[in-house]
């Protein structure tokens, strides 16, 4: 009698986690000897408070697994997991090339410690002020400053450009306008 073995079907899948549970889920997947891709960014918290790690994709991480294998059994019921991302009740398969491209493009960003504004805004980019006396005004991001999260922006007001220093947390990208 011949033994039949089914080939291992390892595919990348996205796992959607509960808020701030990505690290817990990552650890559990690694404990099962599964390949995981969980890119994190390192931010200087300032004032000697150390470095804060933040997921590049909040609530998501990627696992390469055969969902029919014993090592992957019950992934969707692990503590911290909301679900495996699906379409038409089938787990979405993410091509190896997509994960490889993400790994390549994010490698330099994930290896260095940044200030928050370095990741969020680029010089010359339009930003929206979300707090303070200029709330609701659009400005142009100029640069980060030596202070913890302080940035410099240009605000066009009364036919002249005002150079302002604001907290980076009080800026956001303006909503895209439909053409």
Averaged pLDDT, 151-177:
78
pLDDT tier for residue 179 given thresholds of 50, 70 and 90: very low
Share of the chain above pLDDT 70, in %: 84
Length of the chain: 179
pTM of the model: 0.64
Of all helices (H) and strands (E), which one includes residue 105? helix 96-111
According to DSSP, the residues that pair with 170 across neighbouring strands are: none
Which structural domains are found in the chain, ordered by start?
11-114 (3.30.70.940), 117-172 (2.30.30.30)
What are the tens digits of pLDDT across the range 14-58? Answer: 999 999 999 999 999 999 999 999 999 887 766 677 888 888 888
92 close to 143: Cβ distance less than 8 angstroms:
no
Of all helices (H) and strands (E), which one includes residue 25? helix 22-31
What are the tens digits of pLDDT across the range 128-155? Answer: 888 888 888 889 888 777 655 678 888 8
pLDDT of amino acid 27 = 97
Write the secondary structure of 110-163 as one string of H (helix), E (strand) and C (coil).
HHCEECHHHHHCCCCCEEEECCCCCCCCEEEEEEECCCCCEEEEEEEECCEEEE
């Amino acid at each position: 009698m011949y033994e039949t073995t089914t080939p291992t079907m390892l595919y990348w899948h996205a796992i959607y986690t509960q808020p701030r549970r990505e690290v817990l889920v990552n650890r559990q997947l690694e404990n099962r000897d599964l390949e995981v891709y969980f890119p994190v960014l390192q931010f200087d918290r300032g004032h000697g408070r150390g470095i804060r790690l933040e997921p590049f994709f909040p609530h998501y991480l990627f696992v390469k697994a055969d969902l029919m294998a014993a090592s992957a059994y019950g992934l969707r019921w692990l503590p911290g997991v909301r679900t495996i991302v699906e379409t038409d009740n089938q787990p979405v398969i993410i091509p190896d090339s997509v994960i490889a491209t993400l790994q390549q493009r994010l490698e330099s960003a994930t290896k260095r410690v940044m200030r928050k504004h370095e990741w969020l805004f680029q010089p010359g980019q339009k930003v929206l002020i979300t707090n303070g006396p200029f709330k609701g005004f659009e400005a142009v991001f100029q640069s980060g400053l030596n202070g913890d999260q302080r940035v410099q922006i240009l605000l066009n007001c009364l036919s002249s450009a005002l150079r302002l220093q604001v907290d980076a947390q009080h800026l956001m990208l303006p909503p895209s306008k439909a053409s």
